[in-house]
């Protein structure tokens, strides 16, 4: 018999009742250190008092009004995002996939409005993940996610990551833009080289294409900069964000330059809930936290410390850990043993971690973790790695 909840996830037999900071308490009263943060969502820890206050204060005023009217919270947060980034305009939505959908629509519409309706294809990268809508599964190109869902949406040409000549070869008179995660999450914590991003920027300028970043997972402080693209200096024309933006309240956004956003005139896009007052109250407070002096420096320091400790583990257990990947607090352990077995063993140590592609275990702790939480995670990782090593012939 089918489960009451549609069985699209193979879920761990764990449920949580409450959380505080980097810790979650299960319904059975067991405390877990959360090094997954709801897949990079709970960046400010669980039950962050500032976010709780922002949400509850807004909940007592007004929850929802509709995008038929002005939403002051959207106007305020859009201005703050614009000041902090390349962007001139922002659309608020509810999720990462929706933000990516709009990025795709906007890229096509920009070319259409520029007199190039034939330019409607987007170059994407192997290992990409942009969401689970029909357009975003086509953009991601993962056969597992496409199977059984009818004709794959046309208009995406996929090439290997960091392969500039493949990108050049894929550009045709039908190309509208290039869409890339500066640091892939689901694909296995794989970085786009900084020089590669700069070369993509140049190619886009030469060919009249839009450069689209998907920073749904790697953005909003996760790598130690507000947005991961800042490490390369190569700015996009359009960028999708979500996850940490709401710290656990569902919200996404698509940021764009004036040039890219201008063709999105009234009636071309919309969302009932997108950017509603509750979401904006939380995201505005999240933005205040992430941009506070010292916050991103803390992420960078903790990221370096965690990466250093992981490198030591790799040296101690070379038959278990193959490679350390990632940046800031978006780190991955590429393993020589099955990653899902490793994640299951970490549950038994009381630490939540997450699998990713290429047999990687992802570490995505709340950005507010301190050295003691890193110590706890490293001890648990060390125990699990030692057990796998001992079991090897
Ligand atoms: N893009 C990236 C890079 C992601 O990591 C994800 C989700 O993991 C998405 C898009 C889709 O976001 P959502 O699940 O909120 O639709």
| DSSP line for 157-198 | EEE-TT-HHHHHHH--TTEEEEEE-SEESTTTSEEPPHHHHH
Ligand 1 centroid vs 376 CA: distance in angstroms?
28
Based on the number of CB atoms within 10 Å of its own CB, is 301 exposed (0-12), middle (13-18) or buried (19 or more)? middle
Locate all alpha helices (DSSP H) within 171-292, ordered by sequence. Answer: 194-207, 258-261, 277-290
pLDDT tens digits, one per residue of 338-366? 999 999 999 999 999 999 999 999 999 99
**Residues in contact with 99: Cβ distance below 8 Å, sequence separation at least 6, in sequence order:** 93, 216, 240, 241, 242, 252, 253, 254
Nearest to 286 by CA among 102, 62, 110, 40: 40
pLDDT interval class at 115 (50, 70, 90):
very high
Q: Residue 143 burial by CB count (10 A; 0-12/13-18/19+): exposed, middle or buried?
A: exposed
CA of 172 to the centre of ligand 1 (A): 28
The torsion defined by the Cα of 24, 26, 30 and 31, in degrees rounded to 10, comes to: 0
Alpha-carbon gap, residue 271 to 58, rounded angstroms: 20
Is residue 98 within 8 Å of residue 271, measured between CB atoms? yes
Distances (CA, A) of 104 to 97, 112, 269, 304: 10, 13, 12, 34
User: What is the predicted pLDDT for the residue at 3?
Assistant: 97
> 39 in ligand 1 pocket by Cβ < 6 Å?
yes
Q: Domains, the chain, ranges and CATH?
A: 16-34+294-391 (3.90.1150.10), 50-290 (3.40.640.10)
Residue with the two structure tokens 């449920």:
15
The neighbouring-strand residues paired with 239 are 213, 255
CA distance 383 to 377: 10
State the CB neighbour count (10 A cutoff) for residue 166.
16
pLDDT at residue number 257: 98
- Ligand 1 pocket, 220 CB below 6 A? no
Task: Read off the pLDDT of residues 127-178 as tens digits, 9 standing for 90 and up.
Answer: 999 999 999 999 999 999 999 999 999 999 999 999 999 999 999 999 999 9
Ligand 1 atom nearest to 186, measured from its CA:
5
Atom of ligand 1 nearest to the CA of 100: 10
The CB of 225 under 6 Å from ligand 1? The reply is no
pLDDT cut 90: percent of the chain above it: 100
**In degrees rounded to 5, what are phi and psi of residue 324?**
-110, 130
d(CA 345, CA 42) in angstroms, rounded, equals 23
Tokens 């050295």 belong to which residue? 371
CA distance 211 to 4: 42
Instruction: Enter the pTM of the model.
Output: 0.98
Q: Is 190 in the pocket of ligand 1 (CB under 6 A)?
A: no
Q: What's the confidence (pLDDT) of residue 337?
A: 98
pLDDT per residue over 242-288, tens digit each? 999 999 999 999 999 999 999 999 999 999 999 999 999 999 999 99
- Which residue's alpha carbon is nearest to atom 5 within ligand 1? 217
Q: Residue 103 — very low, low, confident or very high, per pLDDT cuts 50/70/90? A: very high
Q: Name beta bridge partners: 334.
A: 323, 360
Name the nearest CA neighbour of 97 among 243, 211, 269.
243
Residue of 373, 377, 370 lying closest to 354 (CA atoms): 377
Atom of ligand 1 nearest to the CA of 215: 3
State in Å: Cα 182 to ligand 1 middle: 13
Q: DSSP state, 268?
A: S
Q: Are 343 and 333 in contact (CB under 8 A)?
A: no
Percent of the chain residues past pLDDT 70, beyond the cut: 100
Contact assessment for residue 322 and residue 337, using Cβ atoms and an 8 Å cutoff: no
Q: What is the DSSP string of 6-52?
A: ---S---S--EEEEEBTEEEETTS-EEEESSHHHHT-TT-BT-HHHH
Instruction: List C-alpha distances in Å: 77 to 258, 291, 377.
Output: 17, 13, 35
């Amino acid at each position: 018999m089918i489960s009451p909840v549609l069985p699209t996830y193979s879920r761990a037999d764990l449920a949580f009742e409450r959380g505080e900071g980097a810790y979650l308490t299960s319904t059975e009263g067991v405390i877990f250190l959360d090094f997954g943060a709801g897949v990079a969502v709970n960046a400010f820890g669980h039950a962050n008092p500032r976010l709780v206050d922002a949400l509850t204060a807004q909940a007592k005023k007004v929850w929802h009004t509709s995008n038929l009217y002005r939403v002051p919270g959207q106007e305020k947060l859009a201005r703050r995002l614009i000041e902090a980034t390349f962007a001139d305009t922002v659309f608020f939505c509810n999720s990462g996939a929706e933000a990516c959908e709009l990025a795709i629509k906007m890229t096509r519409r920009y070319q259409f409005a520029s007199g190039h309706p034939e330019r409607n294809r987007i170059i994407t990268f192997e290992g990409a993940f942009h969401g689970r809508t029909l357009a975003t599964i086509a953009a991601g190109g993962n056969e597992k996610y496409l199977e059984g869902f009818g004709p794959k949406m046309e208009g995406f040409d996929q090439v290997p990551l960091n392969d500039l000549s493949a990108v050049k070869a894929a550009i045709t008179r039908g190309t509208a833009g290039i869409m890339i995660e500066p640091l892939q999450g689901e694909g296995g914590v794989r970085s786009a080289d900084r020089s590669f991003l700069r070369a993509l920027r140049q190619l886009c300028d030469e060919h009249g294409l839009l450069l689209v970043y998907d920073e749904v997972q790697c953005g909003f402080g996760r790598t130690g900069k507000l947005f991961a693209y800042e490490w390369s200096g190569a700015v996009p024309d359009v960028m999708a964000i979500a996850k940490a933006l709401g710290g656990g309240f569902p919200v996404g956004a698509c940021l764009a330059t004036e040039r890219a956003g201008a063709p999105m005139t009234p009636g071309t896009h919309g969302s009932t809930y997108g950017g509603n007052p509750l979401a904006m109250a939380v995201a505005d407070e999240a933005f205040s936290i992430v941009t506070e002096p010292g916050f991103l420096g803390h992420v960078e320091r903790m990221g370096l410390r965690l990466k250093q400790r992981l490198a030591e583990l790799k040296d101690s257990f070379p038959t278990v850990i193959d490679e350390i990947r990632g940046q800031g607090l978006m780190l991955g352990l590429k393993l020589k043993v099955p990653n899902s077995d490793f994640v299951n063993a970490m549950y038994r140590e009381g630490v939540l971690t997450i699998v990713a592609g290429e047999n990687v275990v992802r570490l995505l702790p709340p950005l507010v973790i301190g050295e003691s939480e890193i110590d706890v995670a490293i001890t648990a990782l060390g125990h699990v790695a030692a057990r796998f090593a001992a079991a090897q012939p």
